[in-house]
Amino acid sequence: MSENKIDGWLFIDKPIGISSFSVIKKIRKKLNTKKIGHAGTLDPFATGVLGIAIGEATKSIDYLNDKKEYEFNITFGESKTTEDLEGETLDETNIIPNKSDIKNILKYFKGVIDQHPPKHSSIKINGQRSYNLARKDLNFETKSRKITIYEINHIKQLNNFTHKFRVKCSSGTYIRSLGRDIAIRLNSLGYISFLRRTKISKIDEKIIISLDKFLELVHIGNHFKMVVPIESVLDDIPAVYLNEENAFKFRNGQVMSIFDSASEVNSLLVLKEKEVVGLGKIVSGKLVPIRMFNI
């Protein structure tokens, strides 16, 4: 199969126990394609929506990697090296919060907040991956960053130590760090014992497919129906339709004054009839090309 045969998005239900990169690797090999990427890494112990861009769709990754939703469990009473169930126990406490205590402090985790990413993460520190430094037991701190929690709710108590939550958050949010910080706010310790991504932008669990099922469909040549067109994934951003002449100019990187001089749009999907041409923006009424799709 030629890599030019597919230019679109695939949404996999990432299985537990495998890295996002391993999922990409399996699909790349099966499709015999080099141009492939994903919108947002999921840890090996996590499951759920993994958006995979194939072919020209890789140029649109930044436009999908926005708001995300997760379901997760926090187990209170101990901290872990990785802040999840796969790490080694660092410390323990007898202070175990109850449901009422937890609900009362969640208000402090709404809106724009500061968050320190986990030491076991892909954040770069002085040119090195944080997880590599952590594996060497080096003493360092990750730099605080601003994230947005749009909504966070306590769903239910599962047992004496574990509680279930649901969160809507900005891209770049580390749920492991969120769990750690919630526990600290409650004068306790905690780690993420379950994590599932339920939504990326507008893409939810309704259209995802298991990795094994997709690979099976590729084997019988019936996988194309699972590929979502670029324009369908990006249909929540403004779009403009160009005629043949202006589409040609756009593809050649030409800036065009085709809007009111006061118009400003940061992200714009550019089409010619039903054909996806590229991505652009409007600056002072001028259409400025950003990326072109070669489909």
Active site residues: 43
Same-domain status, 260 and 154: no
Q: What is the CATH number of the domain that holds 21?
A: 3.30.2350.10
- Same domain for 258 and 286, yes or no, is yes
pLDDT band at 15 (very low <50, low <70, confident <90, very high): very high
The total domain count for the chain is 3
Q: What is the pLDDT of residue 223?
A: 93
pLDDT of residue 129: 53
**Residue 3 banded pLDDT, cuts 50, 70, 90:** very low
Helices (H), 32-169: 61-64, 99-105, 130-135
Q: What type of residue sits at position 33?
A: T
**Mean pLDDT on 200-208:** 93
Q: Classify the C-alpha dihedral 19-21-27-30 as positive or negative.
A: negative
Residue 9: which domain range?
A: 3-66+202-232
The whole-angstrom distance between residue 206's C-alpha and the CA centroid of its chain comes to 17
CA distance 11 to 51: 5
pTM equals 0.87
CA-based Rg of the chain, rounded to a whole angstrom? 22
Q: What is the pLDDT of residues 143-178, one digit of tens each?
A: 788 999 999 999 999 999 999 999 999 998 999 999
pLDDT band at 250 (very low <50, low <70, confident <90, very high): very high
